Chain A
Amino acid sequence: MLYRESGDFSSTYAEDSQTFPIKFDRYRYYFVLFVAIAVIPFMINDYWVNSLFLPFLIYAIAAIGLNILVGYCGQVSLGTGGFMAVGAYACYKLMTSFPDVSMLIHVLLAGLITAAVGVLFGLPSLRIKGFYLAVATLAAQFFLVWLFNRVPWFYNYSASGQISAPERTFLGVNITGANTQAWATYLFCLMFVIFSAYVARNLTRGSVGRKWMAIRDMDIAAEIIGVNPLRAKLTAFAISSFFIGISGALFFSIYLGAVEVGEAFGIQKSFLVLFMIIIGGLGSIFGSFAGAAFLVLLPVVLKIVGVDWLGWPTDIVAHLQLVIVGGLIIVFLIAEPHGLAQLWRVAKEKLRLWPFPH
């Protein structure tokens, strides 16, 4: 009886198509927003920000981006790491070339540059599908990492081949470099998360989203009702890469500070984000958050339980994490391909009727 829709009537189409049509959902959403913006920043310290909040927020953006491409448009991509690297290096070049410009502009521009690169690597998607497209994006992954390793211009000819973020500000507050405050970096990333989720949700419930889903579900029928497949797929690649580029830029500049491309943006990163949306739920914005939260929380929880409480060796706990993630991927692919988001939906459907079975 906690969760119900009785008494909620929508009398206009606009009301009916809003994101949270049920009042209870709406209030919970406002509550979460309030806590995220006005409560958490006062309570966190460096440890929580760096081990939990920043990776969660940044991966959530990447997961939203990849979910648009894979979950909504049905184009499998293994190039997430490469596209995040594009965002990171674009951000680095912009930060070092225009030191006085606000970080907000840099990150957004990095997203746009990644979008352009994404469109370029999305071009083969018109001809190839499924596994073959996955292999093509895999090529993008390896090519991009190779490019950032081999062309010194990208890392400003630094001796180590790494890029490291200089001190930059947003609204006068340091958010990159050595002297940052936990709350500032958190709020900066949170801003982009809210922006990404808002834009992604609006796009996916409108006509663009329907075009993507039509292509995903049956491309021939999509074409017959007037969807230009090339344009639909390329917009998906562009929007998806835009978000992934933003997350790459934040990952480098805010979270890590210094990056070696093969290590930070290798193929493992592509798989990590892909696992997030598989576990979280393909074709769901909430699923992107759930998957990111799950895979960021898992190692932290395992470390606390395994190492701190039970006193196991660290390497065993690290391996255990791989076993659990691998097992969960298999379970989810077989039992619930729509992931945590679908479990959540089913739970809500049951709660609406609870305690009655029908």
Chain B
Amino acid sequence: MKDQADGYITADGRQIGPVVMEMKNITLRFGGVEAIKDISFDIREGEIRAIIGPNGAGKSSMLNVISGFYVPQEGEVWYKGARRAPMKPFQVAEQGIARTFQNIALFEGMSVLDNVMTGRLTHMETGLFWQSLWKGKAEREETANREVAEKIIDFLEIQAIRKTPVSRLSYGLKKRVELARALAAEPSILLLDEPMAGMNVEEKEDMSRFILDVNDEFGTTIALIEHDMGVVMDLSDRVVVMDYGKKIGDGTPHEVRNNQAVIDAYLGVAHDD
């Protein structure tokens, strides 16, 4: 693999594009606690980028910075070649960044279909007046977006449960519906916060396949946090390793695996104090 300014080719032969998002010297503090210390990394178009690290390393905080929940005290977020001003999560969503949560954050009172349709909200703009009549523009828009949602439902193989209330589903299915909701937004970057937490081996395999398929078929750039090292090493093109809020490694899975600082962070080292 050769690193170039405008992209590279992965081991399995996929063409990775130019940098789409870049974090520059991000520092995030909560009072006196520094959750993220001066971290920089980039995400390239079409790649699967993993963020790993031991518990409390600041991975989720990093994802929250990207999706607009936290505003870092220092540093800049660059997105599609422009510096991103501090913005609210819903504005980030409008820019085409979707995410899932570590603990499932579905709308329990709604059906699977409605949940997936909420992912289309950023694409729907009919005013209240036409919606209240359910005629013309409103109905056309609803149908057009329903088609997109149905495509995602097909893709993730959840057709059979589309009218089921989400609260009746199993954990693994909920995770899948959450992915469907994020995908329905047709995001340019998809952030996955521990997509395989709490799953058994088969569910993990299913989810891995979906992540690879999403990346392959829709060309979606994916940034994910995951604890299962086997999965991370298999899926991702490049890996950022964090520990205690600092970046201790960045590179291909192979490079990261042989990085002494990373091994120390995961296995621990003898301190002589």
Contacts and interface: CB of A to CB of B under 8 A. Distances in A.
Interface of A: 12-14, 17, 199, 202-203, 205-208, 210-211, 213-214, 216-218, 220-229, 235, 239, 283
Contacts of A225: 93, 98, 118-119, 121-122, 181-182, 185
Interface size class on chain B is: 35 or more
Contacts of A220: 69, 89, 105
A221 B90 contact: no
Given A13-B150, A214-B110, 16 more contacts: A12-B143, A17-B142, A203-B132, A207-B124, A207-B141, A214-B107, A214-B118, A217-B107, A221-B101, A221-B105, A221-B106, A224-B92, A225-B98, A225-B121, A227-B90, A239-B128
A13 B134 CA distance: 13
Interface of B: 67, 69, 88-90, 92-94, 98-99, 101, 105-110, 114, 117-122, 124, 126, 128, 131-134, 138-139, 141-143, 146-147, 150, 181-182, 185
A206 B134 contact: yes
Contacts of A224: 67, 89-90, 92-93, 98-99, 101, 105
Contacts of A210: 110, 114, 117-118, 121
Q: Which of B67, B99, B110, B121 has the most CB of A within 10 A?
A: B121
Nearest to B104: A221
A226 B90 contact: yes
A201 B84 CA distance: 39
A285 to B, nearest CB: 13
A224 B93 CA distance: 6
A218 B121 contact: no
19 contacts: A17-B142, A203-B131, A210-B118, A211-B118, A213-B110, A214-B107, A214-B121, A217-B108, A218-B107, A218-B108, A220-B69, A220-B89, A220-B105, A223-B88, A224-B93, A224-B101, A225-B122, A225-B182, A283-B109
A207 B120 CA distance: 9
Given A14-B143, A221-B105, A224-B99, A208 B110 contact: no
Given A203-B128, A227-B121, A213 B107 contact: yes
Given A223-B88, A225-B122, A13 B146 contact: yes
Given A221-B107, A226-B93, A235-B128, A13 B118 contact: no
A226 B185 contact: yes
A220 B102 CA distance: 13
B110 A217 contact: yes
A228 B89 CA distance: 9
A218 B90 contact: no
A226 B110 CA distance: 17
Given A13-B146, A213-B110, A202 B133 contact: yes
Contacts of A213: 107, 109-110, 114
Contact of B128 (A205, A208, A223): A208
Contacts of A14: 139, 142-143
Given A202-B134, A203-B132, A207-B121, A17 B146 contact: yes
A206 B94 CA distance: 19
B219 to A, nearest CB: 21
B160 to A, nearest CB: 15
A223 B90 contact: yes
Contact of A13 (B107, B119, B121, B143): B143
Q: Is the interface of B mostly helix, strand, loop or mixed?
A: helix
A239 B128 CA distance: 10
A334 B106 CA distance: 24
Contacts of A228: 88, 90
Contacts of B94: 226
B233 to A, nearest CB: 28
Contacts of A208: 128, 131
A205 B120 CA distance: 14
A211 B143 contact: no
Contact of B147 (A13, A216, A222, A227): A13
Contacts of B146: 13, 17
Nearest to A205: B134
Q: What are the 9 closest A-B residue pairs judged by CB atoms, nearest first?
A: A226-B93, A221-B105, A217-B107, A226-B122, A202-B134, A207-B124, A223-B89, A13-B146, A199-B132
Contacts of A222: 107, 118
B98 to A, nearest CB: 7
Contacts of B88: 223, 228
Contact of B138 (A206, A223, A283): A206
Nearest to A217: B107
A210 B126 CA distance: 13
B252 to A, nearest CB: 30
Contacts of B143: 12-14
A213 B88 CA distance: 20
A28 B142 CA distance: 26
Contacts of B118: 210-211, 214, 222, 225, 227
A216 B105 contact: no
Contacts of A203: 128, 131-132
Contacts of B124: 207
Nearest to B126: A207
A199 B133 CA distance: 6
A67 to B, nearest CB: 14
A25 to B, nearest CB: 15
A14 B120 CA distance: 17
Nearest to B141: A207
Contacts of B93: 223-226
Contacts of B69: 220
Contacts of A218: 105-108
Contacts of A223: 88-90, 93
Contacts of B126: 206-207
